[in-house]
Amino acid sequence: DFVEMFVGVGASRVRDLFSQAKDNSPCIIFIDEIDAVGRRRGTGFSSGGHDEREQTLNAILVEMDGFSSTDKVIVIAATNRVDVLDPALLRPGRFDRHIHVTLPDIAGREQILGVHAGKVKVAANVDLSLIARGTPGFSGADLESLINEAALNAARHEQESVGMRDLDYARDRVAFGREKKTGSRAMPERERVITAYHEAGHTILQVMVEGADDLHKVTIIPRGRALGATMHLPNEDRHTHSRKKLLGDMAVLFGGRIAEEMFCGDITTGASNDIERATSLARGMVYEWGMSDRMGPVKYTEGHDSAMGHEDVIAVSAVTRRELDEEVRRIIDQQYAHARKLIEDNRDKLERVAKALLEFETLDAPQVKKLMDGEELPPRRSTVVVPTVADQAAATAVPPEAAPAEFKPQLA
């Protein structure tokens, strides 16, 4: 820790650190989260803390310039925000060798899972390659947490070993949060029905839209801040995304909003995140990635001021800005219409999926395929009777004229 409330303390600590390193050479100095003191100078409003941070950074730069080949001191730093570092830190003679530690690919994830799975007893049917395929974007710590959660779930159910069901449960918990079936997140029947149709809209488009990832499962059990979730598995690790893939993802995102409007007679705030993500994709296609035929292969932004927290600065005239916004709206409207047409042509499939979600709460991909093919699922084996809205109203003896009407989706 370098920066303190007293001016000059940080710089003094830097000088002492490098002096001790030289006295104990050969030596390695490791500075973690260097962006805390190494941010780009000259940004933001000047303050006491700001001046202290700059003095500390200047001391680091001066000390690194004072090294000779005989000092035998190596300086290593780590950061997740290399984009905000002062350019002087990255010049030759200072931190001139950069090592990017990326998230593991599918082969790396399988190996990491194997290391952590070796610490617990796993069942013979466990396929770590399948779990690795379903965990894109997971870090090593996430994968370790996945194995730990799976082991806890197995112990909770008094199993002798960790099975695929435990790993599947753990993956969903790490990625999407803990299931919340009771308590403050327990849904009223009206919201439960709307959520079922919302997720069914996403689900059938996830299956039908060209270029979309494979469906994994769909649930109306609240997780984290979401009332439900449609989960998908990428076919492979991707580092780039095609225009067809982006347009397909956009159409899938609109499925929930369209299903609410068509089947429930109203729209809710539940689609806010879907709309935000779809808008972000459309803006990226037009402003950043040159995927608009009308606007051409041009980048219409001037970088990103991460240090100040500003959005991308648009370097265009007012007329061009209006054309850009019109093109974003055109792409969004086009994919919204495409998604609506697919749902209108497959109303019966969406209806079957929604009703099954209300009964089973969670459906995996094979079950969804059966429903979309017109097959019936075996009835849910349960002795728990869930009271309906009408039952609850009768139990509380509310007069008929004051009782709320039971919510029913509009089927036509």
Q: Mind listing the pLDDT tens digit for each residue in 236-255?
A: 777 788 899 999 999 999 99
**Nearest Cα to 334, choosing from 278, 277, 272, 259?**
278
- Residue 375 confidence class, pLDDT cut points 50, 70, 90: confident
CATH class name, domain 106-176? mainly alpha
Q: What is the pLDDT of residues 337-362, one digit of tens each?
A: 999 999 999 999 999 999 999 999 88
Phi, psi of 232 (to 5 degrees): -130, 160
pLDDT at residue 121 in the model? 92
Q: Give CA–CA dist 130/322, Å, rounded.
A: 47
pLDDT at 409 over 60: no
pLDDT at residue 251 in the model? 95
94 in Cβ contact with 88 (< 8 Å):
yes
More reliable by pLDDT, 10 or 345: 345
3-class secondary-structure state, position 214: strand
User: Per mean pLDDT, which range of 136-150, 269-283, 308-322 is the poorest?
Assistant: 308-322
Q: Check residue 229 and report its DSSP letter.
A: E
pLDDT at residue 41 in the model? 76
pLDDT at residue 253 in the model? 95
Q: What is the pLDDT of residues 62-102, one digit of tens each?
A: 888 766 666 788 889 999 888 888 888 888 888 878 898 88
pLDDT at 226 over 80: no
Range 9-90: architecture per CATH: 3-Layer(aba) Sandwich (3.40)
Residues 6+ apart with CB under 8 A from 230: 199, 202, 203, 206, 215, 218
- Residue 298 confidence class, pLDDT cut points 50, 70, 90: confident
Distances (CA, A) of 375 to 35, 108, 196, 216, 368: 57, 39, 19, 19, 10
**Overall average pLDDT of the 215-229 stretch:** 83
From first CA to last CA, the distance across the chain in angstroms is 65
The H or E element spanning position 204 is helix 189-208
pLDDT at residue 265 in the model? 85
Q: Which residues are catalytic?
A: 199
More reliable by pLDDT, 10 or 297: 297
Q: What is the pLDDT of residues 149-191, one digit of tens each?
A: 999 999 999 999 999 999 988 988 888 777 776 544 567 888 8
Query: What residue ranges do the domains of the chain occupy?
Result: 9-90, 106-176, 186-372
pLDDT at residue 399 in the model? 41
pLDDT at 202 over 70: yes
Percent of the chain exceeding pLDDT 90 equals 35
365 in Cβ contact with 216 (< 8 Å):
yes
For 186-372, CATH gives: 1.20.58.760
